[in-house]
Amino acid sequence: MKSGMADIPPEHAAILRVIRSIPRGRVASYGEIARRAGLPGRARLVGRILGDYSALKLPWQRVLRSDGRIAFPRGSSGYREQRARLTDEGIAVRNGRIDLGRFGWQRDVDAELWKLV
């Protein structure tokens, strides 16, 4: 049988699901998203998918490099757009960098485990 229009590969679906589940006001790295989707080491696929599925309304601004920097080049429209969106939801961006210790999604897990918050 053919599924007509949007048959999204399982790997893509898993990644999209994780991206959509990043809480507002928090951020996650490409690699972390891949791991949470059960695809460790597949960070590049996450980046590719964000571009491929840009028609979907995803919270793409919450996805950063592992060091907390915005992936787009400084000065690009994508960079400015992301910085603006992050700022809008209360995430501080300084020099194109977000403090993962403060806004990282993983921080929630850490807090849960170590009861620091």
**Residue nearer to DNA on the CB measure, 7 or 67:** 67
User: How do beta strands 63-64 and 28-29 pair?
Assistant: parallel
Burial 39-55 (b: 16+ CB within 10 A, else e): beebbebbbebbeebee
Query: For residues 114 and 81, what is the distance between their CA atoms, to the nearest angstrom?
Result: 35
CB of 1 to DNA, least distance (A): 22
Using CB under 7 A as the binding rule, whether residue 79 contacts DNA is answered as: no
Residue owning tokens 């690699």: 31
When binding is defined by CB under 7 A, the residue of 8, 56, 72, 106 that contacts DNA is 72
Segment near DNA (CB under 7 A); pick from 35-43, 86-94, 104-112: 35-43
Give the footprint of DNA on this chain (CB under 7 A): 29-32, 41-48, 50-52, 54, 60, 63, 65-67, 71-72, 78, 82
